[in-house]
């Protein structure tokens, strides 16, 4: 996940790791993360962090 962020031009800072850990702790208290695939957990965390930091997934253009 972090590699994709860096390749996308998003600088990864310490706070990203702090928020990542906090989110996993909260979600892990509500569901069993071991039951999910690594990809699903990565998508959940990626979506949360992008929303938290106000980062758009993709810029969509209309014609």
For 44-54, how does the pLDDT look when each residue is reduced to its tens digit (9 = 90+)? 999 999 999 99
pLDDT at 61 over 50: no
Domain range enclosing 25:
12-53
Number of domains in the chain: 1
Whether residue 48 is contained in a domain is answered as yes
Whether residue 1 is contained in a domain is answered as no
Instruction: Indicate yes or no: pTM above 0.95.
Output: no
Whether residue 23 is contained in a domain is answered as yes
Contacts of 18 (CB under 8 A, 6+ apart): none
pLDDT-above-70 percentage for the chain: 89
Residue 11: per-residue pLDDT = 86
Here the tokens at position 43 are: 């998508």
Whether residue 28 is contained in a domain is answered as yes
Whether residue 27 is contained in a domain is answered as yes
Going from the C-alpha of 17 to that of each of 26, 27, 44, the distances in angstroms are 14, 15, 15
Whether residue 20 is contained in a domain is answered as yes
Whether residue 21 is contained in a domain is answered as yes
């Amino acid at each position: 996940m972090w590699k994709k962020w860096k390749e996308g031009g998003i600088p990864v800072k310490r706070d990203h790791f702090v928020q990542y850990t906090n989110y996993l702790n909260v979600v892990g208290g509500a569901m069993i993360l071991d039951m999910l695939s690594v990809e699903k957990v990565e998508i959940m965390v990626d979506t949360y962090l992008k929303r938290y930091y106000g980062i758009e997934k993709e810029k969509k253009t209309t014609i």
